[in-house]
Amino acid sequence: MRNYFLRRLLYLIPILIGVNVLTFLLFFVVNTPDDVARMQLGAKHVTEEAVVNWKQTHGYDKPLWFNDKAQGLAKWTDTLFVSKSLSLFQFKFGVSNRGRSISREIFERMGPSLALAIPALLLAMLVNVSLALTMVFFRGSWFDRVMVVVCIMMMSISGLFYIIAGQYWIGKVLKLVPLSGYLGGWDSFRFLMLPVLLALISSLGPNVRWYRTILLEESGKGYMRTAFAKGLSPMQVYARHLLRNGLIPIITRVVALIPLLFLGSLLLESFFGIPGLGSFIIDAIGQQDFEIVRSMVFLGTLLYLVGLMLTDLAYVWADPRIRLE
Partner 1 sequence: MVVLWTDALLWLIVLGVGLAWAVSQRRAVKARWRAVFASPQAICAFIIMIIYLALGLMDSIHFKHHKDPDQPAQVVSLLDKATGYLNEQMELTYSEPLALTSFSESMQIDPRTQKPVWQKSRLHYINADIGDVATRNQHIGKAALAALVVGFVLLAGFWLGSRALAFRRNPGVSQCATRVQWVWWWSLTFMAVFITFVAILAQDFHVLGTDQVGLDVLYKVVKSVRTALIIGLVTTLMILPFALFLGCSAGYFGGWIDDVVQYVYTTISAIPSVLLIAAMVLSLQVYMAAHPEGFGSMVEQADIRLLFLCAVLGLTSWTTLCRMLRGETLKLRELEFVQSARALGSSSWRIIVRHIMPNVMHLVLIALVLDFSQLILFEAVLSYIGVGVDPTTLSWGTLINSARMELAREPVVWWPLLSAFVSMLGLVLAVNVFAESVREAFDPHGHTGSES
Q: Which residues bind partner 1 (CB under 8 A)?
A: 14-15, 18-19, 22-23, 26-27, 30-31, 35-36, 38-39, 152-153, 155-161, 164, 168, 172, 213, 216-217, 220, 258-259, 262-263, 266-267, 270, 281-282, 285-286, 288, 290, 293-294, 296-297, 300-301, 304-305
Closer to partner 1 by Cβ: residue 15 or 126:
15
Cβ proximity to partner 1: between 77 and 141 the closer is: 141
Minimum CB distance to partner 1 smaller for 194 or for 296: 296
Nearer CB in complex with partner 1: 70/216: 216
Q: How far apart are the first and last CA of the chain?
A: 6
Q: In this complex, which beta carbon is closest to partner 1, that of residue 184 or of residue 234?
A: 234
Euclidean distance between CA atoms 9 and 4, whole angstroms: 9
Q: How far is the CB of 75 from partner 1 (least distance, A)?
A: 27
CB 10 to partner 1: min, Å:
14
Burial of 128 (0-12, 13-18, 19+ CB in 10 A): buried
CB 250 within 8 A of CB 317: no
Three-state DSSP at 324 gives coil
Least separation in angstroms between CB 51 and partner 1: 13
Q: How far is the CB of 200 from partner 1 (least distance, A)?
A: 18
CA distance 241 to 218: 10
Whether 201 and 162 have beta carbons less than 8 Å apart is answered as: yes
- CA pair distance 20, 24, nearest whole angstrom: 6
Burial of 47 from C-beta contacts in 10 A (0-12 / 13-18 / 19+): exposed
State whether residue 95 is helix, strand or coil: strand
Q: Find the shortest distance in angstroms from Cβ 32 to partner 1.
A: 9
Instruction: Give the nearest distance from C-beta 186 to partner 1 in angstroms.
Output: 29
Shortest distance (Å) from residue 78 CB to partner 1? 25
Residue 95 dihedral angles phi and psi, to the nearest 5°: -115, 150
| 153 vs 322, beta carbon nearer partner 1 | 153
Q: Which is nearer to partner 1, 71 or 158 (CB)?
A: 158
**Residue 17 or 239 with smaller CB distance to partner 1:** 17
CB of 134 to partner 1, least distance (A): 17
Q: What is the closest distance, in whole angstroms, from the C-beta atom of residue 73 to partner 1 in the complex?
A: 27
Residue 95 pairs in a beta bridge with 101
User: Which stretch of DSSP H or E encloses residue 93?
Assistant: none
Give DSSP secondary structure letters for 185-224. Answer: GGGHHHHHHHHHHHHHHHHHHHHHHHHHHHHHHHHTSHHH
Q: What is the DSSP letter of 139?
A: T
Query: What does the angle CA 114 – CA 87 – CA 42 come to, to the nearest 5 degrees?
Result: 85
The residue (of 74 and 153) whose beta carbon lies closer to partner 1 is 153
